[in-house]
Amino acid sequence: MKSKFLYIIPIVLIIIFSFKKYNKDNALDENLPQLGQNSIDEILQALTIEEKVNLVTGMGMFIPGLPAGMIPEMDSTDAGIPEKILGSAGRTHAVPRLGIPSITLSDGPAGVRISPIRGKDSTRTYYATAFPIGTLLASTWDTDLVKIMGIAIGNEAKEYGVDVLLGPAMNIHRNSLAGRNFEYYSEDPLVSGSMAAAIVNGVQSNGIGTSIKHFAANNHEFNRFRMNVHVSERALREIYLKNFQVALQKSEPWTIMSSYNMINGTYTSQNKPLLNTYLRQESKFKGLVMTDWFAGKNAVEQMEAGNDLLMPGTKAQKISIIEAVKTGKLPMKQLDENVKHVLELVLKSPTFKGYKYSETPNLKQHAKISRQVASEGMVLLKNEGVLPMTTVKKVALFGNNSYELIAGGTGSGDVNKSYMISLDKGLENANYTVHANLAASYKHYYKEGKAKLPPPASPFHPHTVVPEMYVDVALAQKMALENDIAVFTIGKHSGEFVDRTLDTDFNLTSSEKVTFETVSKAFQAQGKKVVVVLNIGGVLETASWNDKADAILLAWQGGLESGNAIADILKGNVNPSGKLATTFPVAYTDEPSSKNYPGMVTEVISNKMLLADTDAAEVTYEEGIYVGYRYFNTFNVKPSYAFGYGLSYTTFIYDNLKLSSKAFKDNLKVTITVTNSGKVAGKEIVQLYLSAPSSQLNKPESELKAFGKTKLLQPNESQTLTFYISTADLASFNPAKSAWIADAGRYTIKIGSSSLNIKNKAFFTLQKSQQLSKTPKILLPQKGIKELSK
Ligand code: BGC
């Protein structure tokens, strides 16, 4: 009996041991702390170094169609893990034994970017709504509406299983040729930051995160992985960081994405003064910082700088961080801090909360929102008695892109949508008759042209540009005879990885010019009108041809419902109310940054990997704070269309401008009454500019300090808008004193319908100069910068 018992003991022990081991491997061990049930400190204690390092480096990125060796090597253990959501941009590592799931990050600003098809499964699709691009959103100047769009994108992301949406993108439009301006909002930090905050608040109301990007001074694509931006402390603080600061004051993004470039010699992702002193201490950011994909060169410095998550994560990064911790070069305390931010993010995520996503977001409802936002952000640049097209029946529709509108830009900001409403379709939906033969010729030409195009240089350069179809005089004349009006679409692609070119993107190509002139002449000869629709992502030259158009509608790139949204405006179902959030100069050379854009190559790098490297380059922001209208209006350079400009089918009267006081104390209340003085209902965007005394510093002629949009005002209806001005709005950054200072003197409030069309003015004084917060001496230029001044 006794010996029998002894025989059983080892078997029981083996069973207990195996069970324990099983529990350990499968997170069932009750002795192990679990995320959510135990404190983050307890989790940190239980994590091995390898697990910690896994948590701060993403799980890689698997790009279909990209030959091996073109991206840095992933960890082979990660490569074996199937993707949770095909086509998402990346995800974090799980540590199952501690209850830490992997969360998914997905682009991007204009909609959820995931693969619409999963393998061979033909039973269902995963398309997303393509919403309008950033430049269009900013042109709505309507943060409430933009927030509604954010709510829709956030819902779509959540229902597809995404935890963090990689947007909004909010870099400043420093130069018109920047390839990603379409994703960004404006040349003005207040507009940019306010729009970004609206998206953040909308998306995050769903309980998923956002990542405001790219922090900071990431204003071109030229050699983007090794670009050193030389910029003054003042320009940085007043322009290139200010937009992020505004966004952080108005919203609490869960994450922020550092950029590719260096600022004054240090990669932003490795820049402790930027990510810690400025972002966490000065701007009170509490969330997680992630790198842009493959950004920076030194993983250990990134950790030290407070860049918590390295995306998409490579094997080399893991090795170097582990070694740095083991040799004491990277304090464990720092790594723990980074891991803590990752865990805090995971804790908030729908995945952690066990959210059962449906994979069936309400795409129909979101398409309606997309259409509404699109029509609200289109800008009517010119209208000489043509629009709305109320008596028109037959339309001769010219321009390749009329039949294939461009929904948005390419690269990570692109969205896989299930359909695209072209302009011919939109016009037909609005009961116009589009000339059938002309349409057939364009469609045939475009199809053939695309088939003949060489394959794109890489999966990242998918622009297919078929030259504008040639229309001869006879055809133009025949169309003018047979139709009531000509609508001519000019479309321009832009995208990530490459900047736009002056000759083909900013200026019209010769085939566009010739065809447009032929059409315009033929129609005008018969007393018929020509409407131009600009289907573009960034600023375009208009001065040389706008006299040949009777109306110009800047439609931007309005997402999948673009054709319907354009037709809504052409028909008058929607009264245009969009205004420019970026100046349209007469010529590219009028832009001050054109003198040193995009910068120079400083070192040619051999053996660079296609995706993750470029030559080294540098650029100096010699224009300083004089970006966009701050330059044009201060130096009296007349633009084609000014910042804040946009027409309506009605007119507005501004009156009764009142200030709460003529002597500024801590705050000022400004009210203005706007009345619809025309015949149709409409909305007006009202802009408040401030001209400050410049006793100590050079100051721009005026700066936008507040804006608002009226409700839809019926004819004769009025609305009073209220704005508040704080001491911070009066202040400029004085580098000599390392402080924001509001100078004593007389200030002018200018209420305008654009930055150049000022309707009312009022004055107030600040008795004594006031110094606001003092700032540490950080982010200083490496060299003297000869900045533009008045
Ligand atoms: C872009 C980011 C994007 C990331 C992930 C990078 O190339 O710069 O904006 O979020 O890729 O797709």
Domains of the chain in sequence order? 26-55+90-348 (3.20.20.300), 370-593 (3.40.50.1700), 650-774 (2.60.40.10)
Output the CA 292–ligand 1 centroid distance in Å: 6
Q: Which long-range contacts (CB under 8 A, 24 or more apart) does 390-394 make?
A: 390/571, 390/572, 391/484, 392/432, 392/484, 392/485, 393/432, 393/433, 393/484, 394/432, 394/433, 394/435, 394/482, 394/483, 394/484, 394/485
Q: Worst-scoring range by mean pLDDT, 313-317, 454-458, 592-596?
A: 454-458
Is the distance from CB of 180 to CB of 173 less than 8 angstroms?
no
- For the stretch 397-434, pLDDT in tens is 999 999 999 999 998 999 999 999 999 999 999 999 99
Q: Which of 588, 597, 499 is nearest to 541 (CA)?
A: 588
Rounded distance, CA 592 to CA 630, Å?
11
> How many Å lie between the centroid of ligand 1 and the Cα of residue 214?
9
Q: What is the mean pLDDT of residues 250-263?
A: 98
- What order of strands is seen across the sheet that includes strand 616-620? 266-267, 262-263, 227-230, 616-620, 600-603
CA distance linking residue 311 with residue 60, whole number of Å: 7
CB 493 within 8 A of CB 465: yes
- What's the gap in Å between 184 CA and the centre of ligand 1? 13
pLDDT of residue 10: 52
Ligand 1 atom closest to 105 (CA): 5
Selected catalytic residue, list 292, 505, 568, 590: 292
Closest-lying ligand 1 atom to the alpha carbon of residue 224: 8
Least confident of 39-53, 131-145, 451-465, 561-575: 451-465
Nearest CA to ligand 1 atom 6: 293
Mean pLDDT of 262-291: 98
Among the residue ranges 74-83, 186-195, 411-420, the one predicted with the least confidence is 74-83
Helix (H) or strand (E) holding 766: strand 758-766
Is residue 292 flagged as an active site residue?
yes
Please name the residue that has the structure tokens 């704005």. 723
Nearest residue CA, atom 4 of ligand 1? 293
Confidence of residue 20 (pLDDT cuts 50, 70, 90): very low
Ligand 1 atom at minimal distance to the Cα of residue 412: 12
Element (H, E) at 618: strand 616-620
How far apart are the CA of 293 and the centre of ligand 1, in A? Answer: 6
Q: Encode pLDDT of 312-336 as tens digits.
A: 999 999 999 999 999 999 999 999 9
Phi, psi dihedral angles at 532 (to 5 degrees) = -105, 135
Q: Which amino acid is at 214?
A: H
Q: Ligand 1 center to residue 210 CA distance, Å?
A: 13
Length of the chain: 790
Long-range contacts of 65-72 (CB under 8 A, 24+ apart): 65/459, 66/459, 66/610, 66/611, 69/609, 70/609, 70/610, 70/611, 71/294, 71/609, 71/610, 71/611, 71/612, 72/294, 72/314, 72/315, 72/316, 72/609, 72/612
Question: Among the atoms of ligand 1, which is closest to the Cα of residue 183?
Answer: 9
| Cβ < 6 A, ligand 1 pocket | 89, 107-108, 166, 213, 292-293, 412
Nearest residue by C-alpha to atom 8 in ligand 1: 292
Dist. CA 111 → ligand 1 center (Å): 14
Distance CA 162, CA 651 (A): 44
Instruction: Give, using CA atoms, the residue closest to atom 11 of ligand 1.
Output: 293
Q: Which of 214, 215, 259, 412 to mutate to test the pocket of ligand 1 (most atoms within 8 A of CB)?
A: 412
Residue nearest to atom 5 of ligand 1 (CA): 89
- How many angstroms separate the CA atoms of 382 and 539, rounded? 16
